């Protein structure tokens, strides 16, 4: 009998462990459309509406359709069962009530797939699709958060340029094509183990036509009339169909006609997971597009949005602010995130403008998602000095202090940082020590410090270096972008030293696409009426063109820097001390006002000299050391063996590993 109990215990333990490793098979949504064997059940929450009609469209282009009166419950939920309806059904809702416009048919905010028209109103219809997918045993990646090395990418930019050699350019499937120069092949060659995609759920691509009146609004700021980055979200459960293989940017054309984006995005995630690469979605949960016919605006704005005293939408940045502390809105957001985790096997989320979330809402999000996957990756932009607060809640956040101590002031290019051999007021080597140890006065754990030199916002790292060093001005016209990105000795040294500090510091490093070869964001010439063509672009959010598209010929041009990043990533992944050390494991040594050395656990030694003119020398700790990294080379087997005195040249770093 005791053997039977042992067997039962082992089986139970195995079952428990297996359940922890597998994502939930199904996750019920509160609302939306639900396929049944004999039809479709529709549910929508519209508590103040007097009547709601389900509209079934006969075709994508149809403006009207068959209407069915829905039944209201005591909780303000409306439902209808449409017998014999199935996959391919196009639908929407017409609502009548004090906060509704019965002349507007809106799509389902819980749409799993949408068909959208390319104009600033982002007309949409909901589409019933087959969501079944053969995951072939795929599940979330099991990567310790402090082992993450993240690459920030725009899915279209990474393969749309002719130089990518991808066949299905600019698409989910194109990103994971084999034998190309961009997409997944670049991530593999670089050695990163996570990719953070700019927004992939359905968003309003088009803005108001340039210099034309549109319902009392006038666009005099965006000559491209586009939103390329995706920070104007519309449907929180539907993938962006522009990135499907039938996506089009033709004005007034329809995207998503057959819903293929659903299966194609899942295939992309599965392919990345096969290569050991986690998938992180950049999500916008605090606002939606302020132009489009977003369903929540037409269902009940008093429930879903922050309003001013006149009952008008409160805007922030590029959208209308959601009332994220309202329980109905919280439920919508959390169900959306859970859906991406279970239906698409998403490993984590980066939250745009996370500082707009209350502590209570942020805590609920984290708690709910951890119930699905305890290892879910959660971080965001906790600006307004809320990084420490968010860390105490269990969130990671972008470590702006890391960027600014090294680069200098974000806006004043004369106020330079360590990479220029300088410190801003009230900063010193102590601040370098702090960022190297994951800024412990802010972050509870290194896994909360997302360290970066550049992300998609603002000037990219190399353009910033050019401006701060005086090699370029903001008004310079760059006629030859390939010639422009050639690195002279100064720029090469600063790029390498920045990369060395990024990859040897505690915390989670993130690299923006092209940073690894010192790309530049030069405004490309197009048909748009842009007077700044040829200048370096600080904010190319609106440019679906070669300003953003990755030119993979640039990678070959600055191959030395790419090789440097690749070597540093390999060394970081092979060296526990660079990822899992406590501040007490460090022994720091000031070498000059702008030079620093440290030893971790008496095994790894790192030296960095920010001075652009003077070398510094120091004595190594006793014993024999293997030089792994210097300014010119990285060799995991060792460049040479050293003991005694070493000299660190200007604007450079060295990393050594103890032999004995």
Q: DSSP string covering 628-653, please? A: EE-SS-B-TT-SEEE-SEEEE-SSEE
Maximum distance among all alpha carbons in the chain? Answer: 85
The b/e string for 447-471 (b: 16+ C-beta within 10 A; e otherwise) is bbbbbbbbbbeebbbbbbbbbbbee
Residue 16 has pLDDT above 70, yes or no: no
Please spell the DSSP secondary structure of 183-241, one letter per residue. Answer: HHHHHHHHT-SEEEES--B-B--B-SPBT-EETTEEB-S-TT-B--S--SB--SSSB-G
pLDDT cut 90: percent of the chain above it: 93
Q: What is the mean pLDDT of residues 457-462?
A: 96
Model confidence at 14, pLDDT cuts 50, 70, 90, reads very low
Query: Would you list the DSSP string of 34-56?
Result: EEETTEEEEEEE-TT-SEEEEEE
Calpha distance 123→252 (Å, rounded):
9
Listed residue (417, 421, 420, 387) closest to 405, CA to CA = 417
In the prediction, which pLDDT does 20 show?
43
Least confident span in 44-48, 311-315, 537-541, 578-582: 311-315
The yes-or-no verdict on residue 13 having pLDDT over 90 is no
Grouping H, G, I as helix, E, B as strand and the rest as coil, residue 143 is: coil
Q: What is the CA radius of gyration of the chain?
A: 26
- Residue pLDDT, tens place only, 136-195: 999 999 999 999 999 999 999 999 999 999 999 999 999 999 999 999 999 999 999 999
CB atoms under 10 Å from CB of 173, counted, come to: 21
Predicted local distance difference test score (pLDDT) of residue 25: 42
pLDDT at 28: 74
- Residue-wise pLDDT for 194-218, tens only, equals 999 999 999 999 999 999 888 888 9
pLDDT digits (tens, 9 = 90+) for 446-457: 999 999 999 999
Average pLDDT for 49-56: 98
Q: Which domains, ranges and CATH numbers included, belong to the chain?
A: 32-127 (2.60.40.10), 584-658 (2.60.40.1180)
pTM equals: 0.95
DSSP 408: B
- pLDDT score recorded for residue 213: 86
637 contacts: CB under 8 Å, gap ≥ 6: none
**What are the residues facing 93 on neighbouring strands?**
54, 106
Angle among Cα 390, 392, 397 to the nearest 5 degrees reads 35
């Amino acid at each position: 009998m005791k053997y039977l109990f042992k067997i039962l215990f082992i089986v139970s333990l195995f079952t428990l462990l297996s359940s922890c490793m597998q994502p939930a098979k199904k996750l019920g949504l509160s609302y939306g459309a639900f396929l049944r064997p004999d039809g479709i059940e529709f549910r929508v929450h519209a508590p103040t509406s007097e009547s709601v009609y389900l509209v079934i469209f006969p075709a994508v282009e149809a403006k009207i359709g068959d209407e069915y009166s829905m039944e209201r419950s005591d909780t303000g939920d409306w439902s209808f069962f449409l017998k014999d309806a199935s996959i391919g059904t196009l639908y929407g809702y017409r609502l009548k009530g004090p906060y509704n416009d019965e002349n507007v048919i809106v799509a389902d905010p819980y749409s799993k797939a949408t068909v959208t028209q390319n104009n600033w109103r982002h007309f949409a219809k909901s589409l019933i699709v087959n969501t079944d997918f053969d995951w072939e045993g795929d599940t979330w990646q099991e990567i310790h958060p402090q082992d993450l090395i993240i690459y920030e990418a725009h899915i279209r930019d990474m393969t749309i340029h002719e130089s990518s050699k991808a066949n299905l350019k600019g698409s989910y499937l194109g990103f994971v094509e084999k034998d190309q120069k961009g997409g997944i092949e670049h991530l593999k060659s670089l050695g990163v183990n996570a990719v953070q995609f700019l927004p992939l759920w359905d968003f309003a691509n088009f803005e108001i036509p340039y210099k034309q009146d549109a319902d009392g609004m006038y666009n005099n700021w965006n000559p491209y009339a586009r939103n390329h980055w995706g920070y104007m979200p519309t449907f929180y459960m539907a993938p962006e169909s522009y990135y499907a293989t039938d996506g089009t940017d033709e004005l007034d054309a329809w995207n998503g006609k057959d819903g293929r984006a659903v299966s194609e995005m899942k295939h992309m995630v599965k392919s990345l997971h096969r290569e050991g690469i986690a998938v992180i979605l950049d999500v916008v949960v605090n606002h939606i597009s302020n132009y489009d016919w977003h369903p929540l605006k037409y269902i009940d704005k008093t429930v879903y949005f922050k309003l001013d005293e006149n009952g008008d939408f409160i805007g922030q940045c590029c959208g209308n602010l959601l009332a994220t502390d309202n329980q109905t809105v919280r439920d919508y957001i959390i169900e959306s995130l859970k859906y991406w985790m279970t239906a698409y096997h998403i490993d984590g989320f980066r939250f745009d403008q996370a500082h707009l979330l209350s502590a209570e809402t942020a805590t609920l999000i984290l708690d709910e998602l951890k119930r699905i996957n305890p290892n879910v990756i959660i971080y965001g932009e906790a600006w307004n000095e809320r990084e420490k607060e968010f860390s105490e809640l269990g969130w990671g956040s972008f470590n702006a202090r890391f960027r600014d101590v090294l680069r200098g002031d974000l806006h004043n290019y004369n106020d330079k940082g360590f990479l220029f051999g300088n410190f801003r007021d009230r900063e010193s080597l102590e601040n370098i020590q702090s960022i190297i140890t994951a800024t412990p006065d802010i972050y509870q754990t290194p896994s909360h410090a997302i360290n970066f030199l550049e992300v998609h916002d603002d000037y990219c790292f190399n353009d910033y270096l050019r401006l701060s060093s005086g090699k370029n001005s903001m008004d310079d016209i760059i006629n030859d972008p390939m010639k422009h990105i050639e690195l002279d000795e100064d720029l090469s040294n600063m790029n390498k030293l920045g990369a060395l500090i990024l990859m040897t510091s505690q915390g989670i490093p993130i690299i923006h696409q092209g940073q690894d070869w010192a790309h530049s964001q030069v405004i490309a010439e197009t048909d748009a009426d842009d007077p700044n063509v040829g200048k370096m672009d600080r904010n190319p959010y609106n440019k679906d063109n070669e300003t953003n598209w990755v030119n993979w010929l640039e990678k070959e041009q600055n191959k030395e820097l790419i090789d440097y990043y690749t070597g540093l990533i390999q060394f970081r992944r092979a060296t526990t001390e660079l990822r899992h050390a406590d501040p007490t494991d460090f022994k720091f040594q000031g070498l000059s006002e702008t030079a620093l050395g440290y030893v971790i656990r008496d095994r790894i030694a790192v030296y960095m000299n920010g001075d652009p003119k003077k070398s510094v020398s120091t004595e190594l700790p006793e014993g024999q050391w293997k030089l792994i990294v210097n300014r010119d080379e990285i060799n995991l087997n060792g460049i040479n063996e050293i003991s005694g005195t070493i000299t660190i040249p200007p604007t450079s770093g060295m990393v050594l590993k103890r032999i004995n």
